[in-house]
A and B are shown apart, each in its own frame.
Chain A
């Protein structure tokens, strides 16, 4: 080896000795990020690591500037701890909810405590992280004295400072340009993006940093010209379908009950071994309809059934979609816009056309959960009645203090007289809770004797010797909870019949999402990944609508939660400005596309995609022609979504148009209500 080589070799060795802590920090940080992506999205790469590199770059430069190994050690250890905690935290959130972090999620933090029943810390990530981090701590410390830093001149420190400042600026501008790009886009661009799924795009820490940055600095949405907004809203008026009212009955005085059935799946009361291979297996399936779920079967047999209805949202968004008919992106209405003026919601539209109608919302869960006690009033309900009120006012047994879910039939039994008044027209929204995960053995259901009934039909709890047995018990617990929901439906039917209200009451029952808790839906349907031939079946849940004097029929058209509001209007013969609603009546020829706000995913019954460049699932036999049609429908939806964002962010209907002298000339709310009355008078 000549002198030059020796010199270079020594230099390299010296560099490694001087900077072993920094090198360790960089390797471990990037490794933890990749590990985080790998345990959540099963990919060991990050598509756009720019933010990650800049973040690591900045920390690295700061560490370089520090000329003391002990301080470097402490600093890098703290940063690695921070990275680890951040990853563990958001892996837990992902494993519990299936969603990736966005800034608005912070508003759900109090609710999160209400639904946490267990803390699924990922074993693989945690163990690999702890071992490597402990190794770093121990060996990092061990070599501090062995490899002390050499003193460097002020010029070098100054140069490094300049590099640091440049990196900061570069970081700022790059993130800013990324964000600008994201915020300036037309919502339609979502369809043509190239984004990877979830954390694979940026990594976990970078997604969190980016979300915070966007949340703090780039969350404003311009309203633009209010005339454009009005033109968009009023440019299209719905047409009622003949199928919704074949006998042309006047339903203008009909009552409406919408029941958001928490986690209701078809397999909660039906046996279908093709679609639900791990569901019920009774030799005589009639047991289900006759003995276990007679009321759900009655509802099924007397209703219009949508057997191709899908939901891919969390409860709060499903709830809002079924009341408002639209939902903005990147926010949570209940927290971000709790006091907005919303004339397009079902209660407000009904009240605009019939001021005598009574609109109330009932939920046998906690009062401030999802901020419902505030937001439901702005949606047009006169009152929001929660579990605590039900306990105090109606003497309903409240199981919440015992860490149990309340019982749906208790709610109906105790509140039915106020829920379904006989002296005036009503719109009642009910959000149930008994079937909410986790699917544990519950004392309340035990008291009702449901477990004994299940046992008597041979569906007994099994010893949990393997995963399949554990899942069978989960399913059994879920099916038991569904019995309580069945009895609640029975109580509603009985009371409405008793009071002769059934003949003029429309009842809408829908599942807000699949049984995703503890992976039950995946287990029962045996569907886990989009490579399954019938992947979208994973999100197929019930929608049944009881309409007096309408025969039972099954509609096979694809439909989703956003279709509920237009369907209610269609059934009641109400004309509406359909650009304000994402969906279409289930009776119309038009088919919707589901856009999931929670998961940033598009979906039909035959396709599941992040954008047109990232199609995760396309059913066999469906190709380009089908996707072209889906693209057309998605563009229509996204145009509405863009306008919805503008309307909600600026509380458009709470605004008034001012003239040049700042004088009020036109309240937008009054205009909407006036035009709504007009289109309904004209057409009626």
Chain B
């Protein structure tokens, strides 16, 4: 492992941390909880919270992307980068990386899909709405995660040279977002949610730094 000096790396790290703050900003939803607590005996609260968080995250992402592009011509999503076609081997590896956690969780659930387990027993309209809200929120959340991975990975690679690629982005997200999820979400597989960012980080590398593929596959892992 060799180190080199590149002051621009710090900008990447700051941006990655800002993205993490975006995720934490969802906690602000609790400020509005008392307002809606009495609407339908509080049954609409998850829906209203989810709508608020969804909109908040979308606004934050869009504002960040637009400002960075207009002010600094910084392409945070790697859209302008010349696309490299993925080889068949890489595609198959991506398949394997995505399927492994899905099968692992399904196996632990007694060969039941996580989405089925999430819905659980006694499905009611309210519960279904709540669960759909959770999936809805996961879309911008995992998009932010993909951006965090891209920023930290590229930032680290500006200051560290390694023989083999290391998923720095994944490690960073694991220690921030993963820890946050582990501490704030009451789920029997919380420990897996802590480690999953490592997989997301690996996907980012295998997909030749494609933020969209990273987002899409991480969303599948989250959902299934």
**Which A residues form the contact surface with B (CB < 8 A)?**
113, 116-121, 123, 126-127, 130-131, 134-135, 138-139, 142, 403, 438, 440
Task: List B residues 92-130 near A (Cβ within 8 Å).
Answer: 95, 99, 102-103, 106, 111-113, 115-116, 119-125
Number of interface residues of B (CB under 8 A): 22
Chain B contacts for A142, CB-based, 8 A: 85-86, 88, 91
B residues adjacent to A (C-beta < 8 A)? 85-86, 88, 91, 95, 99, 102-103, 106, 111-113, 115-116, 119-125, 224
The answer to whether B95 touches A117 (Cβ under 8 A) is: no
Flag if B95 contacts A120 (CB, 8 Å): no
Q: 4 tightest CB-CB pairs across the interface, nearest first? A: A118-B121, A403-B122, A123-B111, A121-B116
B119: contacting residue among A119, A127, A130, A131, CB under 8 A:
A119
Does more than half of chain A's interface fall in helix, strand or loop, or is it mixed? helix
Q: Please give the distance in Å from A389's CB to the nearest CB on chain B.
A: 22
Cβ of B119: which chain A residues have Cβ within 8 Å of it?
118-119
What's the nearest-Cβ distance from chain A to residue B223, in Å?
11
Residue among B112, B122, B123, B125 having the largest count of chain A Cβ atoms under 10 Å: B122
A118-B123, A119-B123, A123-B106 in contact; A134/B95 too (CB < 8 A)? yes
Further 10 A-B residue pairs, CB within 8 A, beyond A135-B95, A142-B91, A403-B122: A116-B123, A117-B122, A117-B123, A123-B106, A123-B111, A123-B112, A127-B113, A139-B91, A142-B86, A440-B121
Question: Is A440 touching B122 in the complex (CB atoms < 8 A)?
Answer: yes
- Within the complex, the shortest CB–CB distance from B130 to chain A, in Å, comes to 13
B91 touches A138 (CB 8 A): yes
| CA–CA, A139 and B94, complex, Å | 13
| A404 nearest CB neighbor, chain B only | B122
- CB of B122 within 8 A of CB of A121, answer no
> Which residues of chain B have C-beta atoms less than 8 A from A138's C-beta?
91, 95
A sample of 24 cross-chain residue pairs with beta-carbon separation below 8 angstroms, ordered by A number, consists of A113-B125, A117-B121, A117-B122, A117-B123, A118-B119, A123-B111, A123-B112, A126-B113, A127-B102, A127-B103, A127-B106, A130-B224, A131-B95, A131-B99, A135-B95, A139-B88, A139-B91, A142-B85, A142-B86, A403-B122, A438-B121, A438-B122, A440-B121, A440-B122
For residue B120, which residues in chain A have a CB less than 8 angstroms away from its CB?
A: 118
Q: How far is the CA of A113 from the CA of B88 in the complex (A)?
A: 44
Return B95 CB to nearest CB of chain A, in Å: 7
Cβ-defined partner of A121 (8 Å) among B91, B113, B123 = B113
Check if B115 sits within 8 Å of A121, measured CB to CB. yes
A169 to chain B: closest CB distance in Å?
A: 42
Chain B residues closer than 8 Å to A119, beta-carbon distance:
116, 119, 123
Contact B121 A120 (CB under 8 A): no
Residues of chain A within 8 A of B123, CB atoms compared: 116-119
Q: Within the assembled complex, what's the spacing in Å between the Cα atoms of A134 and B92? A: 11
Give Cα A138 to B103, complex, Å: 20
A126-B117 Cα distance, complex, nearest whole Å: 14
Q: For residue B76, give the distance in angstroms from its CB to the closest CB of chain A.
A: 25
B110 shortest CB reach to chain A, Å: 8
Do residues A118 and B116 form an inter-chain contact, with CB atoms below 8 A? yes
Instruction: Quote the shortest CB–CB distance from B128 to chain A (angstroms).
Output: 9
Q: How far is the CA of A131 from the CA of B94 in the complex (A)?
A: 12
Specify which chain B residues have a CB less than 8 angstroms from the CB of A120 in the assembled complex. 116
Q: Which residues of B contact A130 (CB under 8 A)?
A: 224
In the bound complex, residues from chain B placing their C-beta under 8 Å from that of A134 are: 95
